[in-house]
Structure 1
Amino acid sequence: MKQRKVPLRKCVVTNEMMPKGELVRIVRTPEGTVELDATGKKNGRGAYLTNSEDVFEAAKKRDSLSRHLQVNVSAEDYERLIAERAKVKKR
């Protein structure tokens, strides 16, 4: 049987290439809200982060998501994403 190719994505904070399933996708929806995408299939512009609290804190400090998602991400949004990150299981 032919082996499937594993899709790789880059963490916007660490710049590491990792398998898509090991990263968490953050999406800017067409309405302009920023959400954590547990399925990896929501519509909108996405950015990938390593599922680590340190990485999420670094993204907040550098405001990386605002730059990559091309929308203003508030401190409250970062706090909500950090809280939701703990609930997401690896796929």
Structure 2
Amino acid sequence: MKTKKIPLRKCLGCSEGKAKRELIRIVKNKEGDIFVDLTGKANGRGAYICRNTECLEKAMKSKRLNKALEVEIPDKVYDDLLKEIQ
């Protein structure tokens, strides 16, 4: 029997590899829009973060999200992430 491979992604906060479904995806599309992608299927460059506030705070402090998406992240995106985590 063949087992299905689970895609792993690295959290920007804790740097742990976790199943894609356990993480929240933030996307930058071709137009430069940055948003939280709850479906995990939106087109564009994606970055992932765990569903806890500690990881979000670490990623905000070290500006890892800015580096991963190669752009300055607006506060609205962080607010949306915080709402989704809580």
Normalising by the residue count of structure 2, what TM-score does the alignment of the two structures yield? Answer: 0.87
The 2-side partners of 1:83 and 1:66 are apart by 19
Amino acid at match of 1:34: I
1:29-80, CA deviations, whole angstroms, 9 ceiling, x for partnerless residues? 2221211111111011000111111111221122111110011113343123
Stretches of structure 1 that go unaligned for 5 or more consecutive residues are 87-91
The 2-side partners of 1:2 and 1:25 are apart by 28
1:8 aligns with 2:8: yes
The 1-side partners of 2:6 and 2:62 are apart by 30
Task: Tell me the residue number matched to 1:64.
Answer: 64
Aligned residues between the structures: 86
Identity of aligned residues (%): 42
TM-fit CA distance, 1:83: 1.7
The 2-side partners of 1:2 and 1:75 are apart by 44
Q: What is the RMSD of the two structures over their aligned residues, measured on CA atoms?
A: 1.5
